[in-house]
């Protein structure tokens, strides 16, 4: 689907990116987050924001989660980070 969207110039919009909370407890994401001074959830949002032409709309009711989402804007991923995240299970 992503290839089709890219080919057609249609941006992807993501909602509820944290897989019902599972991503926030992923050890790979937590390790990467520790390297960047943030948490696993911020790494997910950072990766989505790192995708050219995509829009991420993270769910965040508590103010601390809203702040965490905004803090993800400052995370700069390198190719190793992207590869590690891409290798995560998709289920």
Question: Which tens digit of pLDDT belongs to each residue from 27-63?
Answer: 999 999 999 999 998 998 898 888 887 888 887 788 9
Residue 76 lies in a domain: yes
Residue 23 lies in a domain: yes
Residue 5 lies in a domain: no
Residue 53 lies in a domain: yes
Give, as one character, the DSSP assignment of residue 38. S
Please give the average per-residue pLDDT across 12-30, as a whole number. Answer: 77
pLDDT on residue 74: 95
Domain count, the chain: 1
Which residue segment(s) compose the domain that 44 sits in? 13-86
Residue 2 lies in a domain: no
- H helix runs in 1-91, sequence order: 2-8, 27-36, 40-49, 63-71, 79-86
Residue 1 lies in a domain: no
CA atoms 8, 16, 20, 69: torsion sign: positive
């Amino acid at each position: 689907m992503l290839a089709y969207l890219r080919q057609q110039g249609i941006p992807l919009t993501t909602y509820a990116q944290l897989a019902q909370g599972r991503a926030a407890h992923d050890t790979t994401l937590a390790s990467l987050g520790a390297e960047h001074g943030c948490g696993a959830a911020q790494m997910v949002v950072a990766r989505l924001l790192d995708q050219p032409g995509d829009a991420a709309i993270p769910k965040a009711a508590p103010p601390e989660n809203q702040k965490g989402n905004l803090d993800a804007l400052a995370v700069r991923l390198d190719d190793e980070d992207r590869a590690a995240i891409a290798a995560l299970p998709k289920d």
